[in-house]
Amino acid sequence: MKAFDEPETPQYRARLTALVDGIVERRRQIARLQAEEAELLRDAQGLALERMDAPSAHPDRPGDIPLRSIAAEIGAATVQSDRTVQTRMSDAAILVELFPATLAALSDGRISRAHATVIADAGLPIADNDARAAYEAAVIPLAATETPGRLRPAARRLADRFHPLPLDERHRAARRERRLWTTTLDDGMAELGLIGPAHLIHGIYDRATQFATSILDAERHPDTGDQLDGLEAEPTPDRRTLDQVRADVACDLLLTGQPAAAPESTSPVRARIQVTIPVRSLIGDDDEPAHLSGYGPIGAATARCLAADAPGWDRLFTDPDTSALQLVDRYRPSEAQRRMLKARDEHCRFPGCRQPTDRCDVDHTIARAHDGPTTVWNLGHFCRRHHLLKHHSAWRVRQRPDGILEWTSPSAGSTTIALRAPSLSHRHRSDRRRGRQ
């Protein structure tokens, strides 16, 4: 019987490498076919638009009937809703006509369709063709090394840099679209939607999360001091998930002002957001956007208002060439390390993971048991899932002096991923390279 941690054999590594390479190649082929499909959908929309411009024998006919008809025909042939097909035709036209470099990267298999969607969504507000092309040139290399989820905030930041209108001006216009609405669902349920300034929405979500976490923690670690007839009272198990408790808390807060199930010992909960603002923007000498962790760029004016009421400050020193975080100036070393790590990492440092630092462990890259020092350059945030993966699998990680984590896959180094910390870097990228043992 083999032990779990028995060294991997060359045959195992060869099979795993072949599987990974095969999947990568198939995904390249899928991306190429999706690029071809996008061009076909755009051509189908173009054919419909030609029919729409032609004179009709029925003057009372809705103008988009040719578009509906072609979408219905494609939908019937591909077993899709015609509304879905019509939406995909519109998305394909945007990609093909406005983002040709992104389409080429998709056709080459360098990015996936999900990456292309993120790029187009973030860059669509850029009306100037030259500015949009410059945005594509900056974001495509990043898309080739990041997951779509991690690409999204970085793409927004890059799109903001190339947008001709200042972010504060766009934010003022966008604020006029804030609203609250409901949508009726099946089985006695309904959906509540809210559009508002990003820092407020993220703060609302964080506060609900803190309340929900405290409720679940109180359930897992109940106070056994209360007694009933000489016996400890047994609490009723709370089998709700974090999402379910968070939804219940949000309803309680909106209806009554406080969560009904919060433990009596719960201290007042304040919403927490992390905003990084350039010092020149802070003092009003510049309007370079600030960065809201987990979202992306926010206007300098909004950030200055938040700074006026901020309960605490971390001053961050960065490398002028690479934007890598160098120092956080706090007096107590252990507190400074934690603050610097939180500012540097923002989320779990395993490739593709976006669990925020508040739900992560601070881990020694070189284990303390192996004489790993407790320094910032030997520490990093990992969610519990990837913390366990690091310690109980063949994945290996090395932290470079500039804070970049180099992850090596179990297949004897067939894949090495150099993951850059996200904070303060306009490039917001990780560098990947593939090689053979």
Q: Based on the fold, state whether residues 353 and 309 are members of the same structural domain.
A: no
- The pLDDT score that the predictor gives to residue 391 is 87
CB 117 within 8 A of CB 87: no
| pLDDT (tens digit per residue) in 273-290 | 788 888 788 878 888 888
Q: Based on the fold, state whether residues 153 and 31 are members of the same structural domain.
A: yes
Confidence of residue 223 (pLDDT cuts 50, 70, 90): low
| pLDDT (tens digit per residue) in 100-119 | 999 999 999 999 999 999 99
Q: Based on the fold, state whether residues 38 and 122 are members of the same structural domain.
A: yes
Q: How many domains does the chain have?
A: 4
Q: Based on the fold, state whether residues 213 and 334 are members of the same structural domain.
A: no
Q: Based on the fold, state whether residues 395 and 334 are members of the same structural domain.
A: yes
Q: Based on the fold, state whether residues 339 and 424 are members of the same structural domain.
A: yes
4 inside domain: no
Q: Based on the fold, state whether residues 292 and 355 are members of the same structural domain.
A: no
13 inside domain: no
Asked if residue 246 has pLDDT above 60, the reply is: yes
Q: Based on the fold, state whether residues 125 and 194 are members of the same structural domain.
A: no
Query: Residue 267 is part of which domain span?
Result: 176-221+239-272
- The pLDDT score that the predictor gives to residue 58 is 60
332 inside domain: yes
**pTM for this one?**
0.66
